[in-house]
Amino acid sequence: MINRSIFLVGPMGAGKSTIGKLLAAQLQLPFADTDKVLEERTGADIPWIFDVEGEAGFRRRESEVLEELCLGECQVIGTGGGIVLLEENRRQLQKYGHVIYLQASVEQLFERTSKNSNRPLLRVPDPRARIEEILREREPLYREVADVICDTDNLTPKQAAALVVERLHGSLSQ
């Protein structure tokens, strides 16, 4: 029985936005993505917010969006990869939702994120090394908040969504 929102966490390219939509359709729940909500609220895209307000400004807005979504209806929520950086966000995720950590190897994260350039943190000469560095920093934080961990390597988004449903039901029936 799903009585709280489902939050997808994980690094850039894990598939939170893509799998989140499929998962919501499968569970017949609404879907929201913190990045999309933030862009709608500000009328600006994420690279622009990073340019003008810096990462700290983006994080403030991201926390506000998270708080708002936590208090709203029960739904599937795709988060931005850095949502776990702030302790307050981690507390909110655990308090208000079932948290799914979507995992993937550096290789696949690199491949998936190299298709577009809308992630300011990867606009560096060596994005692969940056992904490794980000994972080292955040992996313990994703694990700290996760109720369920799903490895998405070599799965299509549809297969990954099916795996999440299976694991989620397993975790809820315990």
Ligand X SMILES: Nc1ncnc2c1ncn2[C@@H]1O[C@H](COP(=O)(O)OP(=O)(O)O)[C@@H](O)[C@H]1O
Ligand Y SMILES: O=C(O)C1=C[C@@H](OP(=O)(O)O)[C@@H](O)[C@H](O)C1
Sign, Cα dihedral of 94, 31, 150, 66? negative
Q: Both tokens of residue 99?
A: 């948290």
Q: For residue 90, report the phi and psi dihedrals to the nearest 5 degrees.
A: -60, -40
Binding of ligand Y at residue 157 (CB under 6 A)? no
Using CB under 6 A, pick the residue from 5, 6, 9, 16 that binds ligand X: 16
Binding of ligand Y at residue 46 (CB under 6 A)? yes
Question: Minimal distance in Å, beta carbon 132 to ligand Y?
Answer: 13
Across the beta sheet with 76-78, what order do the strands follow?
Answer: 31-33, 76-78, 5-9, 97-103, 148-151
Binding of ligand Y at residue 15 (CB under 6 A)? no
80 is in an annotated binding site: no
User: What is the per-residue binding string for ligand Y in 18-37, x denoting contact by CB under 6 A?
Assistant: -----------------x--
Question: Contact 89/63 with Cβ under 8 angstroms?
Answer: yes
Question: Minimal distance in Å, beta carbon 15 to Mg ion?
Answer: 8
Contacting ligand X within 93-152 (CB under 6 A): 112, 115, 152
14 is in an annotated binding site: yes
